[in-house]
Every structure is written in structure tokens, then in C-alpha cells.
Amino acid sequence: MIPIFTGCNRAFMKNLLKFYLLAFILLSDFVAFAQPGDDDGGGGLEGGDPEPAPINSKLILLAITGILFVMYTFRKNKKQA
């Protein structure tokens, strides 16, 4: 019996699997964020958009968390070096 999965074929299969996974992740983005159409069949491309979400509600808390994380990372790396 001839072995089908030799060393070269295994490397090829691993690269092919990585390519398939990358393509799936990149192409699933289109499906995940698709919006449903109107049921009346009018097209509705010029329909009203929802109100924009505010981005400044917890911005200070996010900045403080980021600064604390940077300080923690630098101190952790300083102790290891």
C-alpha cells in the first residue's frame, strides 16, 4: 500500500488548512454584518439610518485602564530582565 500522506503532503495539507481557515474568517465577515432587507420590496437604499452611538461615555475609564495595563506590562518585563 502506498502512503498517501508523506512529509511533503502533510506540509501542503497544513498550509491548505491554514488558507481555508483564513479565507473562511475573512469571508464570513460579509455574512456576519449583513443587514436584513425590507419586506415590502421597495428597495429602500435611501432609508433612514439609526442614531449614531456615543463613543465618549466611558472614554476616561478606558484610558485609565490602558495606562494601568502599560505600567503593569513594563514592570513585569523589567523584573524578568
> Which residue in 39, 35, 63 sits closest to 50, CA to CA?
35
Residue given cell 481555508 in the structure block: 20
**pLDDT value of residue 67:** 96
pLDDT, tens only, 10-22: 778 888 889 999 9
Vertex 14: Cα angle to 8 and 16 (nearest 5): 100
pLDDT at 70: 95
For 2-18, give one letter per residue: b (16+ CB within 10 A) or e: eeeeeeeeeeeeeeeee
| Chain segment 41-68, per-residue pLDDT in tens | 555 556 666 777 777 888 899 999 999 9
Query: Higher model confidence: residue 56 or residue 77?
Result: 77
